[in-house]
Amino acid sequence: MKKRFLRTLPFLILTLLCTVFIFSNSMTEGEESALQSGRVVRAVMKVCDAVGIEVTDTDTLTYNVRKAAHFLEFGLLGLLSFFALFSFGLKAYKSALLSLSYCFFIAVSDELIQTSYEGRAGQVGDVFIDFWGALTIIVICFIIVLIIKKRYIKFYSERDTETD
């Protein structure tokens, strides 16, 4: 039991830190949130310039950067929460379902928090983007776990038949 807890602890801590990060972003007022997005957009534009891509519509780029941030931060939350549960000993499908439920709850809470801050609005569309980010990464994690498990079982079953 102690080994399992020690194996789970880093994932659990990182899951909680990721959740705090998401909520702290929700608690920034609209003007500060726009400044944060603006810094990322300028960095993306520099990269585009460096590789010869011309960006003509900064509004669309800003929108896409903000939505990609939702997708990615919830993808990370999905990954961390999946492995926190899986490393604790839950089966992969239970880890996936519980992790997805947790991510959905955090996504809804995230949007509700935003309604309390000036210049921010909770949006149902963002909940869907958050959910799809979490779902995408959780499905990838689930598939990887199944592949590794299948190879592990195959390797040890072949080894056991060789020794018989």
Q: Above 60 in pLDDT, residue 159? A: no
Rounded to an integer, what distance in angstroms lies between the CA atom of residue 142 and that of residue 22?
23
C-alpha torsion sign, points 16, 137, 61, 116: negative
Tokens of 34: 């726009």
* Cα dist from 107 to 31, 76, 84, 124, whole Å: 21, 13, 18, 9
What would the pLDDT profile of 112-145 be if each residue is shown by its tens digit?
998 888 888 888 999 999 999 999 999 999 999 9
Query: What is the pTM assigned to this prediction?
Result: 0.85
pLDDT digits (tens, 9 = 90+) for 55-113: 888 889 889 988 999 999 999 999 999 999 999 999 999 999 999 999 999 999 999 99
Q: Are 87 and 8 in contact (CB under 8 A)?
A: yes
Contacts of 155 (CB under 8 A, 6+ apart): none
CA distances from 99 to 36, 82, 94, 117, 136 (A): 28, 5, 8, 28, 12
- Give me the mean pLDDT over the 45-49 stretch: 91
